Amino acid sequence: MSNSVIAVLIFFLLTLSSCDLVNPPECTLDFRSVVVEVNGAQLSKTYTIAGQADTLHKNENPVSGNFYTIIDDNNQSELENSEMDVVFHGYMGDSLAVSETYEVGADECHIFKVSGKNIIEL
């Protein structure tokens, strides 16, 4: 073989080895959520807003007891390999009772919280 053919073969082998086709991310089948505990009152509905008006998550019932979802893996593809600020709004009837900012992100598999309160006291 000529040197140029060997060089081209080495180039293609190196290019293919830089793509991790053999070892893609090992995502679990877990469905992950970022939640907040709200003490002091039951919220009637919650929204998580990104930017000026994009509603990422709407919930009219708590996940369990007084825990509410801020964001979950349904939004993973929108946030993949990035982070963003979102605002969690909780209402009692028609009145805004909670407005908290969270920084959330996602990797190749799941959503996660970067910063924000774990517990909100009303």
At 92 the pLDDT is 93
The model's pLDDT over 53-94, given as tens digits with 9 standing for 90+, comes to 677 778 777 778 899 999 999 989 988 999 999 999 999 999
Strand intervals (E) in 7-81: 33-39, 45-50, 54-59, 67-72
Q: Which of 25-39, 40-54, 74-88 has the lowest mean pLDDT?
A: 40-54
Residue 122 neighbours by CB distance under 10 Å: 13
Predicted TM-score of the model (pTM) = 0.74
